[in-house]
């Protein structure tokens, strides 16, 4: 184990990113659980009583008054009510975290196909690339991992609108295309470039994935692989779905800003919006967010990956009477469904804000520490050792790509040093706008907060198990 990894493991459980809430009762360590539960009960009772009093006493006039006191100019854009994120949400336990990250039952370097004793089928991983959340870095990672460990990896494109009936009927996945295949079984490490670009599959279907692939991914939806093994997921033990999802998320505001900057970069934007200076970018973001809120819209970009092809989103609605608009009701229902999916599929949860820690989880899940050759361990140490947040510079963090391919990063000198972080910092100076921005991203934030708790538990489990193995 190299020094860097040791350090990462040592510091992992004590560090939290700033501004992150401490975990509540269900997520805490054993000794904190009781206290947390009692506290939560008391707070819950107080809130409940207040809520009852509020809904009985408050008249429309009083509400309007409160709103205008808070913010006269923006009160129709920035509402005050953030939905309590605990009401409809499932719980996530330590045991579930341990199952999510259990090591793949294969040996790195071994070409043979194995069976997962828990599911009795070939283990297959599905990487869900959420827009602007470290995806390029991970695509690059899976490619290298497959070459080193002799696994096979398929990249799909334009797959978020895959027709669910085609997946269920075991036809070619209608709407998806194969972008790239890297088959580590067919190449040796000295011949890596030949393996890229190999695309022997004109299309993708359940049979192709089941018979040939260990990992597939791209801009796809959770649950796309529900019928890969020819049986519905419900046939398998709970918390151990036969296709194991890997999802990375990133702070929603950062994802939004990064998305706008990407649009500016690739030029899919009106000429009047193409000003890449700090002022121009900030102005465009404010315009977009305010415009969306004027039409009651919320940021829901990640939903297209976190809801399954089988979920009827048009039919989703919440019955929370405190949510005023149909848009708000729908966004909340979808966010809750997305969170339930993260738990139901028991995804391996990575966070772009802490790539180094996320890679500890991923290493635990993908590398059982069995190698056909000691050299491979060195390659693997090298591969995983590359994700060190402390070492990263502003430029490197831009696409959250500590080792992302340089051509895919923003060229910061072209943008005069205007990065996502710089833009966010500038936006935060405008309190009025930030209220609207927070309202705009609040359902994405709800998913993000929940995902953090999953991530933290998985990291704690991975770290503990690794330490135990070392003793
Ligand atoms: C899946 O695709 C392959 C290659 O295009 C094809 O040979 C096979 O028949 C397809 N299987 C199904 C079930 O559609
Ligand atoms: C929509 O939701 C209602 C109520 O949950 C349900 O009864 C109905 O079957 C759903 N419709 C579709 C098309 O899924
Ligand atoms: C970044 O942009 C600057 C200015 O346009 C250019 O000189 C430089 O070569 C670019 N760097 C890369 C890596 O593309």
pLDDT tens for the chain, 471 residues long, are 344 333 332 323 333 333 333 333 334 455 566 666 666 666 666 665 555 544 443 433 344 344 333 444 444 555 544 445 446 788 999 999 999 999 999 999 999 999 998 888 999 999 999 998 888 889 989 999 999 999 999 999 989 889 999 998 889 999 899 988 888 887 655 555 555 555 578 889 999 999 999 999 999 999 999 999 987 777 787 777 889 999 999 999 999 999 999 888 887 788 888 888 999 999 999 999 999 999 999 999 999 999 999 997 777 876 666 667 888 888 999 999 999 999 999 999 999 999 999 999 999 999 988 999 999 999 999 899 877 654 333 333 444 333 333 334 455 656 777 889 999 999 999 999 999 999 999 999 999 999 999 999 999 999 999 888 887
Ligand 2 mean position, distance from CA 330 (Å)? 14
Any idea what the Cα angle at residue 290 is, between residues 289 and 293, rounded to 5°? 85
Ligand 2 mean position, distance from CA 228 (Å)? 26
Q: Is residue 252 a contact partner of residue 444, using CB atoms and an 8 Å limit?
A: yes
205 lines ligand 1 (CB under 6 A): yes
- Is residue 181 in some structural domain? yes
**Residue 195's pLDDT is what?**
54
- Is residue 298 in some structural domain? yes
Q: Is residue 385 a contact partner of residue 118, using CB atoms and an 8 Å limit?
A: no
**Residue 385's pLDDT is what?**
86
**Residue 44's pLDDT is what?**
63
- Is residue 248 in some structural domain? yes
297 contacts: CB under 8 Å, gap ≥ 6: 327, 440
**SS3 per residue for 82-119:** CCCCCCCCCCCCHHHHHHHCCCCCCCECCCCCCCECCC
Task: Return the ligand 2 atom nearest residue 315 CA.
Answer: 1
- Is residue 15 in some structural domain? no
Ligand nearest to the CA of 416: 3
| Number of domains into which the chain is organized | 1
- Is residue 444 in some structural domain? yes
- Is residue 359 in some structural domain? yes
Task: Return the ligand 3 atom nearest residue 406 CA.
Answer: 13
- Atom 8 (ligand 2) nearest CA: 315
Determine the Cα–Cα distance for residues 159 and 309; give it in Å rounded to an integer: 10
> Read out DSSP for 183-204?
ETTS--GGGHHHHTT----SS-
Test site for ligand 3: of 276, 413, 417, most ligand atoms within 8 A of the Cβ? 413
Token representation of residue 8: 């990462």
Token representation of residue 35: 């206290």
**Which residues constitute the domain of residue 312?**
3-10+20-470
**Residue 321's pLDDT is what?**
65
- Is residue 159 in some structural domain? yes
**Residue 47's pLDDT is what?**
60
- Is residue 312 in some structural domain? yes
């Amino acid at each position: 184990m190299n020094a860097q990894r040791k350090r990462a493991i040592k510091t992992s459980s004590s560090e939290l990113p700033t501004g992150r809430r401490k975990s509540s009762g269900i997520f805490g360590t054993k000794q904190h659980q009781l206290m947390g539960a009692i506290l939560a009960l008391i707070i819950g009772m107080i809130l409940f009583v207040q809520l009852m009093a509020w809904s009985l006493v408050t008249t429309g006039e009083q509400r309007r008054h409160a709103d205008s006191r808070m913010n006269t100019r923006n009160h129709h854009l920035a509402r005050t009510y953030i939905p309590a994120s605990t009401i409809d949400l499932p719980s996530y336990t330590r045991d579930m975290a341990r199952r999510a990250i259990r090591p793949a039952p294969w040996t790195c370097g071994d070409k043979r196909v194995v069976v997962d004793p828990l599911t009795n089928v070939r283990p297959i991983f599905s990487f869900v690339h959420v827009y602007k959340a470290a995806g390029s870095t991970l695509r690059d990672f899976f490619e290298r991992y497959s070459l080193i460990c002799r696994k096979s990896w398929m990249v799909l494109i334009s797959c978020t609108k895959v027709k669910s009936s085609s997946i269920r009927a075991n036809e070619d996945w209608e709407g998806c295309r194969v972008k790239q295949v890297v088959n580590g079984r067919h190449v040796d490490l000295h011949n890596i470039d030949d393996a890229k670009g190999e695309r022997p599959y004109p299309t993708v279907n359940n049979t192709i994935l089941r018979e040939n692939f260990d990992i597939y991914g791209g801009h796809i939806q959770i649950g796309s692989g529900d019928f890969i093994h020819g049986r519905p997921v419900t046939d398998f033990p709970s918390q151990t779905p036969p296709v194991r999802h890997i999802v990375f998320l990133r702070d929603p505001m950062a994802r939004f800003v990064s998305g706008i900057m990407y649009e500016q970069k690739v030029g899919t934007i009106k000429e009047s919006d193409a000003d890449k200076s700090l002022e121009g970018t900030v102005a465009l973001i404010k315009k977009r967010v305010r415009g969306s809120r004027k039409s009651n819209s919320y940021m829901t970009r990640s939903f297209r990956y976190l809801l399954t092809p089988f979920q009827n989103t048009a039919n989703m609605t919440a019955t929370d009477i405190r949510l005023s608009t149909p848009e708000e009701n729908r966004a909340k229902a979808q966010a809750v469904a997305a969170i339930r999916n993260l738990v139901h599929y028991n995804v391996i949860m990575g966070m772009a804000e802490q790539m180094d820690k996320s890679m500890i989880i991923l290493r635990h899940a993908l590398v059982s520490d069995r190698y056909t050759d000691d050299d491979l361990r060195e390659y693997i140490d090298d591969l995983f050792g590359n994700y060190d947040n402390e070492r990263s510079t502003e430029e490197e963090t831009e696409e959250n790509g500590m080792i992302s391919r340089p051509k895919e990063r923003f060229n910061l000198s072209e943008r005069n040093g205007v990065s996502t972080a710089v833009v966010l910092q500038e936006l935060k100076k405008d309190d009025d706008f930030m209220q609207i921005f927070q309202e705009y991203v609040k359902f994405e934030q709800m998913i993000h907060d929940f995902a953090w708790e999953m991530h933290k538990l998985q990291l704690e489990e991975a770290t503990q198990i690794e330490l135990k193995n070392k003793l």
